Amino acid sequence: MRIKDIKGIELMAREGLKDLKPEKIRFTVGSAVCGLSRGAKGTLETLKEEIAKSNLNAEVKAVGCNGLCFTEPVVEVISPGMSKITYGSVTPERVPELVTVVKRGEVIKKMALFKTTRHQFLNGKTVEYGDTAGIIDSSEFTPLKGQVRIVMRNAGLIDPLSVEEYAATGGFEALAKILSEKKPEEVIREVESSGLRGRGGAGFPTGLKWKTALETPSPKKYVVANCSEGDPEVGMHRSLIESDPLNVIEGMMIAAFAIGADEGYIYVSDKLVSAEEKLTVLIGKLSAIGLLGERIMGTDFSFTITVKRSSGAYVSGEETALLNALEGDMTEPRPRPPFPAKKGLFGMPTVVNNVETFMNIPAIILKGGDWYASYGVEGSRGTKVLAVTGDCERTLTVEVPLGTKIKNVIRMAGGVKGKKSLKGFQIGGPGGGILPARKINLPLDFQKLGKEKTMLASGLVLMDEDTDMVKMARFFIKFFEEESCGKCIPCREGSHRVGEVLDYLIRGMGEKGDLEYLLSLEGPINDTSACALGKLMLAPVSSTIRNFREDYEKRIGG
Amino acid sequence: MTELEEPKFADSEAEDLFSRMILAVPEAMKNMVKPMLLGLAGQKAGGGPITVEALKEMVEGLPEPQKSVFKQVVAARKGLDPEVIKAMIEECGGDIPRIFFKIMERMKYIPQEAVREIAKQTGISEAHLFHLITTGKAFSLSSSAHQVTLCAGTGCTVKDKSKSLETIEKLVTDAEPKEVLLKKARCLGCCDLGPLAEIDGKRLALNVVQAQIEAFLKG
Amino acid sequence: MPLITINGKKIKASENVTILEVARGNAIFIPTLCHNDGLTPYGGCRLCVVEVVKNGKTTVEASCTYPIEEGLTIKTNTARIRKARQVIIGLLLNRGPKPLVIQDLASEYGVTGPLTRFSVENEHCIRCGLCVQACREIVQARAICFAGMGFERKVTTPFNESSLDCIGCGTCELICPTKYIDMKDLPEAQEVTPSDHQIIGPVRNFDTWNTEFKVRVCNECGNPFYSAQPLKKFQESQNLQSGFFDVCPSCRIPPHVDEDLCLGCGGCVVNCPIGAILMKEKGEEQKPTIYRENCTGCHYCVDMCVVGAITIENRE
């Protein structure tokens, strides 16, 4: 069956809806990387066995991660007439009891996290479930309180490999809408009005980037999704792609239509093997039904996507180094200007965006840029996905409106583990430095974080009172040393020398003048480095010297 | 014309295999060993052009430890003959990193012969292929008996209060790369379970990982 | 023609040029290490940084790669720039203080070093990439590369062994700013084995690349004229006769045209790969003339001529 117009999408959606509001019982098991590491595969297998044993009319599906990593494996149960119940820590041993209870039409209260009575999708359609008493609603579940799920709207809900289920939640309606009624300029205006800024860390206005690419005349243009995720503090992009890969693809297609591209690449980190597999399977499915390839939905728009694997370097997340890698060249950054939107892949206009940025696009098109901009604050519109890790009580992935205070995100994560006190935290990735605990009132805001010499990256790492900040600084400098491509002198030589000083300090052989020397390097190395990796290299050192000087002082000799 | 008489090989495969063997010889002895081996191989070839078979026969007649060293060289060649490489290149559409990943999956490292063959068949210079391998953290030029993967993510590092990851890293870095290969992963995606380490793909508790590595290294 | 200001001077620059090109065209000196006019600008050493003011915002950019546009204000020697260059030179001194070009820069910018607080690598190679680039872009042999990343990055041949692609031209040695590359032409090298030693004739040796080439010696004049290995490669890839390179270019005797047999068809002219044959008017007809100084002796024309009018003179 080839999809020729919106009616085809609607037909698929109807099929998908049958799965999301099934007539029989449906069990879903969170099977992204975090779930699998906690035994979700065993849970899935045992569920299938127990269901067969007890002759229960039920199905089991593997879904993605809903962000509640601390309580994996997560199993959700939809029984007709009852609420959808979300259970946590459902190890294989607890499955037999679960199946028995579900068969009886009851709930295991001590294992249940919360209930859901209603889902509303992007296109306004809803799915209603029953109302089961005695369990808190999802809106009252602390880790979820304050979250707004746009990028993660389908994470943990749908079968990531099902085009029908994706369509049921409003998927591909945005694409159908722009193909039938909109012009590229109108699409870009919508994205501009949303205020969306790049989610990879640099925060460049997405609409402006696309506009530059559209306005650069060229016979060939490209769209590239950056998922090289070399940051040491997140595995979250992997989880996003494994949970809702079609969201990325649809976002890229809308970008391609907007700028006039017909070819796209998804560049994934070498460790994202399962994400790459899922993407490849779905690209095959979409091509077979005509949603990728020539003349999509009967229009002039054609688009193909290829998935490419990086060889594992952090620097390949830098967009020009990424383009060099795609071209088969050395993985080193290029001089800028010219910028990729004007002259990118093979010299053609190319839009390179982070996967998270693309995952916002279908929602923006379907519900409007103004709707998106209603979340967040001036200059920082929309939502952000954050992976909270380190010394937190609950490791989890959240999606919150920009402007949310960091301390509220910490609350979702249950505060510091073991009720210790917070010493510092990192919000801007390895180049974002470490901020002191008193700064937790800062909002997730591009400008305000920029003023604090940090950035809005994808992970929030909490560090408790026992953290040695000099060793943390050394950890980050070692990271930069290992990931420096070696092209430019300041980063290649400088990172090694800074590391040498930190090693002296850690061994208690610090000398007077060491800290001043390190701080004096910051300006020149920032000025002369060829790319952001070198420019931000000294941030972990200068921020810890500024905010945690005592940790250093005690290591300096007389 | 003063040029040494060139040794006669039956085909380029034999010539290649011989030069691979010579590379395994310590630098200081290369000039001495080469003519000696040529002579031996020539004998096995009955005075005619030297074939791959003659070289294999010659290896069998050598004493240890040379025999094992050269047998390894011969075996490495088996893993990736030109036809296999040709199929890989076609399957991967000429995408070099993809070809490397395929070879890594099969052999856990990328043999020099494979690089030479890929260069011959694709026209991409050996130098560039060597660059791609040595700047790609996912690729390895030598095989190791064991691989240790440490999660060098920020989350795991912060949670590792007793600095066990550091201890394990030092243990492995001080050892020979032939025995244990160290890989540092940047966030394996299951931060809740951190700090994390794997041996040969199996995730184990940190103290177990440390004990196992110490056992390998003792021999 | 974009109008820009550089060090206070207003200049009309050409289209499609970089800041460095404009500076050099106006006698403004900017130091460089990794730049060469014959190669694509790399932007690796960062010594050429300058201050660029665009739309009121000041940034520091590498002048060798930054494209000129209308309205830029450029400052090439401010305190900020000098400080940046000093840091780079300081880092280079610790990599290795011996190269003269680094010592010159150090005295020019008042940098003392190397700093003993750090290790001193004492290496000559500054990873400027000029050799790699020249081998790739100009010679197109692609015999050397960058291996490894960061501080451990080195310039080397594949697997640190003798490169099969190297043609022994020595361009790398010529272009290296720090004399890192060691090339020696030895007229009489010896190969020593336990029982014997043999003189194997002239060799060109590159210790840096673990590569050594026996040099082919001409059968006629006895002079060494080129590395044997690349000649063999060329002969095989171009399907030339096995003895083709026995004679050096100076000793080649070009073929002879018998004008009585020649039809004037021009087939030899079209097929000469070098263009060493031209038709000249001989009375009412046109006959080919072979230009000795351009002829490589490949003898294509001999093979091509359908009436056998072109022959090779007999050599005694």
In angstroms, rounded to a whole number, what is the distance separating the alpha carbons of residues B171 and A111? 42
Query: Per-residue confidence at B219, pLDDT binned at 50, 70, 90?
Result: low
Tell whether A369 and A404 lie within a shared domain.
no
Residue pair C53/C69 in contact by the 8 Å Cβ criterion: no
- Would residue B66 count as lying in a domain? yes
Tell whether A424 and A523 lie within a shared domain.
no
Q: Which of A442, A464, A486 is the last residue of a domain?
A: A464
CA distance, residue C149 to nearest chain B CA (Å): 6
| Interface contact flag, C150 A494, Cβ < 8 Å | no
Give pLDDT, residue A49.
Answer: 95
| C155: chain B residues, CB-CB within 8 Å | none
Q: Render pLDDT for C81-101 as a digit per residue (tens, 0 to 9).
A: 999 999 999 999 999 999 999
Give pLDDT, residue B208.
Answer: 82
Domain count, chain B: 3
Query: Per-residue confidence at B207, pLDDT binned at 50, 70, 90?
Result: confident
Query: Per-residue confidence at A273, pLDDT binned at 50, 70, 90?
Result: confident
Q: Render pLDDT for A51-74 as a digit per residue (tens, 0 to 9).
A: 999 999 999 999 999 999 999 999
Tell whether A536 and A389 lie within a shared domain.
no
Domain-by-domain residue ranges, chain C?
3-77, 130-228, 252-311
CATH number at residue A123: 3.40.30.10
Give me the mean pLDDT over the B146-150 stretch: 83
Tell whether A29 and A114 lie within a shared domain.
yes
Q: Which of B76, B95, B112 is the last residue of a domain?
A: B76
Tell whether A411 and A356 lie within a shared domain.
no
| ipTM field | 0.91
Q: Please, what sign has the CA dihedral across residues A248, A253, A258, A259?
A: positive
Q: Give the β-pairing of C73-75 and C3-6.
A: parallel
Give pLDDT, residue C193.
Answer: 72
CATH number at residue A473: 1.20.1440.230
Tell whether A193 and A105 lie within a shared domain.
no
In angstroms, rounded to a whole number, what is the distance separating the alpha carbons of residues A455 and A453? 7
Tell whether B72 and B86 lie within a shared domain.
no
Give me the mean pLDDT over the A263-280 stretch: 90
Tell whether A318 and A224 lie within a shared domain.
yes
- Would residue B107 count as lying in a domain? yes
Residue pair C118/C50 in contact by the 8 Å Cβ criterion: no
Question: Out of B97, B135, B189, whose CB is closest to A235?
Answer: B189
**DSSP codes of every residue in A250-307:** HHHHHHHHHHT--EEEEEE-TT-HHHHHHHHHHHHHHHHTTSSBSSGGGSS--BEEEE
Q: Give the β-pairing of A396-401 and C277-282.
A: unpaired
Give pLDDT, residue B77.
Answer: 62
- Would residue A484 count as lying in a domain? yes
Domain count, chain A: 4
Tell whether A41 and A123 lie within a shared domain.
yes
Residue of B nearest to A235 (CA): B189
Interface test with A, best of B162, B190, B203 (most A CBs within 10 A): B190
Question: Which residue range forms the structural domain that includes residue B36?
Answer: 12-76
- Would residue B207 count as lying in a domain? yes
C70 and chain A in contact, CB less than 8 A? no
Cα–Cα distances in angstroms (integers) from residue A498 to residues A435, A478, B211, C117, in the given order: 20, 9, 33, 11
Give pLDDT, residue B6.
Answer: 52
In angstroms, rounded to a whole number, what is the distance separating the alpha carbons of residues B15 and B51? 8
Indicate if C252-311 has the same CATH topology as C3-77. Answer: no
- Would residue A488 count as lying in a domain? yes
> Which residue's structure tokens are 């080919």?
C288
| Interface contact flag, C153 A525, Cβ < 8 Å | no
CATH number at residue A440: 3.10.20.600
In angstroms, rounded to a whole number, what is the distance separating the alpha carbons of residues B37 and B34? 5
> Which residues of chain C from 123 to 162 reach within 8 Å of chain B, CB to CB?
142-149, 157-159, 161
Q: Render pLDDT for A9-19 as a digit per residue (tens, 0 to 9).
A: 999 999 999 98
Domain spanning C252-311, CATH architecture: 2-Layer Sandwich (3.30)
Residue pair A362/A174 in contact by the 8 Å Cβ criterion: yes
- Would residue B152 count as lying in a domain? yes
Question: Out of A37, A313, A466, whose CB is closest to B135?
Answer: A313
Tell whether B113 and B175 lie within a shared domain.
no
Give the class (CATH, top level) of C3-77.
alpha beta
Model pTM? 0.87
Tell whether A427 and A480 lie within a shared domain.
no
Question: Which residue range forms the structural domain that includes residue A399?
Answer: 376-464
- Would residue B2 count as lying in a domain? no
DSSP letter assigned to residue A72: P
Tell whether A55 and A100 lie within a shared domain.
yes
Angle at A225 between CA A224 and CA A229, to 5 degrees: 135
> Which residues of chain B from 120 to 139 reach within 8 Å of chain C, CB to CB?
125-131, 134-135
Tell whether B100 and B119 lie within a shared domain.
yes
Tell whether A227 and A180 lie within a shared domain.
yes
Burial of C197: CB neighbours in 10 Å, binned 0-12, 13-18, 19+: exposed
Interface test with B, best of C146, C167, C209, C226 (most B CBs within 10 A): C146
Give pLDDT, residue C216.
Answer: 87
C64 or C264, greater pLDDT: C64
Which pair of structure tokens corresponds to residue A518? 């390190």
SS3 A396: strand
In angstroms, rounded to a whole number, what is the distance separating the alpha carbons of residues A132 and A115? 8
- Would residue A279 count as lying in a domain? yes
- Would residue A528 count as lying in a domain? yes
Tell whether B29 and B54 lie within a shared domain.
yes
